[in-house]
Chain A
Amino acid sequence: MQWETVIGLEVHVQLATRSKIFSGASTAFGAEPNSQACAVDLGLPGVLPVLNEAAVAMAVQFGLAIDADIPEVSIFDRKNYFYPDLPKGYQTSQMYSPIVGPGEVEIALDNGDTKRVRVHHAHLEEDAGKSLHEDFHGMTGIDLNRAGTPLMEIVSQPDMRSAKEAAAYLKAIHAIVTYLGISDGNMAEGSMRCDVNVSVRPKGQESFGTRAEIKNVNSFRFVERAIAFEVERQIECLEDGGEVEQETRLFDPELDETRSMRTKEEANDYRYFPCPDLLPVVLDQAYIDHQRQSLPELPAEKRARFQNELGLSAYDAGVLSSSRAMAEYFEAVKDVCGDAKQAANWVQGELSGRLNKEGLDIADSPVSARQLGELITRVIDDTINGKAAKEVFAALWEKEGDRADTIIDARGLRQVTDTSAIEDMIDQVIADNPAQVTQYQEADDAKRGKMIGYFVGQVMKASRGTANPQQVNALLKDKLDQA
Chain B
Amino acid sequence: MHDKTLVELTDTLRTGDVSSRELTEAFLARIDRLDSRLNSFITVTAEQALAAADAVDAQRGHGDAGTLAGIPVALKDIICTRGIKTSCGSRMLDNFVSPYDATVVEKLTAAGAINLGKTNMDEFAMGSSNETSYYGPVKNPWDLGAVPGGSSGGSAAAVAAGLVPAALGTDTGGSIRQPAAFCGITGLKPTYGRVSRYGIIAYASSLDQAGPMARTAEDCALLLDTIAGHDLRDSTSVARSVPAYRAGLGESLSGLKIGLPREYFGDGLDPAVNAAIQEAVKTYESLGATVRDVSLPHTHLAIPAYYVIAPAEASSNLSRYDGVRFGHRCDNPRDLIDLYKRSRSEGFGEEVKRRILIGTHTLSEGFFDAYYKQAQKVRRLIRQDFLDVFEDVDVLMGPASPTPAFDLGAKKDPVSMYLQDIYTIAINLAGIPGITVPAGFTASRGGQRPIGLQILGPHFAESQLLNVAHQFQQTTDWHHRRPGIAEETA
A residues whose Cβ falls under 8 Å from a Cβ of B: 39, 42-51, 78, 80, 82, 84, 87-90, 142, 269, 271, 273, 276-279
29 pairs, CB–CB < 8 Å, chain A vs chain B: A39-B99, A43-B320, A44-B98, A45-B88, A45-B96, A45-B321, A46-B80, A46-B197, A46-B199, A46-B202, A47-B199, A48-B197, A48-B198, A48-B234, A50-B233, A50-B235, A78-B316, A89-B322, A142-B324, A271-B316, A271-B364, A273-B312, A273-B313, A276-B204, A276-B205, A276-B206, A276-B236, A276-B313, A278-B235
Let me know if B325 and A87 touch, CB within 8 A. Answer: yes
Q: State which residues 312-339 of B face A: CB under 8 Å.
A: 312-313, 315-316, 318-322, 324-327, 336
Taking CB atoms, residues of chain A closer than 8 Å to B200 are 46
Interface centre among A39, A45, A78, A271 (most CB of B within 10 A): A45
Interface centre among A84, A88, A89 (most CB of B within 10 A): A89
Q: Does B93 contact A (CB under 8 A)?
A: yes
Bound Cα distance A173, B129 (Å) = 57
Bound Cα distance A48, B198 (Å) = 6
Bound Cα distance A331, B102 (Å) = 54
Expressed in whole angstroms, the minimum distance between the Cβ of A87 and any Cβ of chain B is 6
Bound Cα distance A121, B60 (Å) = 61
Identify B235's interface contact among A48, A88, A269, CB under 8 A: A48
Let me know if A49 and B235 touch, CB within 8 A. Answer: yes
- Per the CB 8 Å criterion, the residue count for chain B at the interface is 45
Expressed in whole angstroms, the minimum distance between the Cβ of B347 and any Cβ of chain A is 12
Interface string of B190-224 (1 = CB under 8 A from A): 00000001111110111000000000000000000
Bound Cα distance A47, B325 (Å) = 14
Bound Cα distance A80, B372 (Å) = 15
Let me know if A45 and B86 touch, CB within 8 A. Answer: yes
Q: Classify the interface of chain A: helix, strand, loop or mixed.
A: loop
Taking CB atoms, residues of chain A closer than 8 Å to B201 are 45-46
Identify B368's interface contact among A44, A82, A90, A273, CB under 8 A: A273
Let me know if B235 and A90 touch, CB within 8 A. Answer: no
Taking CB atoms, residues of chain B closer than 8 Å to A142 are 324
Given contacts A269-B365, A277-B235, contact A45 B336 (CB under 8 A): no
Bound Cα distance A87, B326 (Å) = 11
Expressed in whole angstroms, the minimum distance between the Cβ of B225 and any Cβ of chain A is 23
Let me know if A45 and B325 touch, CB within 8 A. Answer: no
Q: Does B232 contact A (CB under 8 A)?
A: yes
Taking CB atoms, residues of chain A closer than 8 Å to B318 are 89
Let me know if B322 and A82 touch, CB within 8 A. Answer: yes
Taking CB atoms, residues of chain B closer than 8 Å to A89 are 316, 318-320, 322
Given contacts A78-B316, A80-B363, A271-B316, contact A44 B236 (CB under 8 A): no
Given contacts A87-B320, A90-B319, A276-B206, contact A50 B232 (CB under 8 A): yes
Bound Cα distance A96, B22 (Å) = 58
Q: Does B360 contact A (CB under 8 A)?
A: yes
Let me know if B233 and A84 touch, CB within 8 A. Answer: no
Let me know if A273 and B235 touch, CB within 8 A. Answer: no
Given contacts A48-B198, A277-B235, contact A39 B319 (CB under 8 A): no
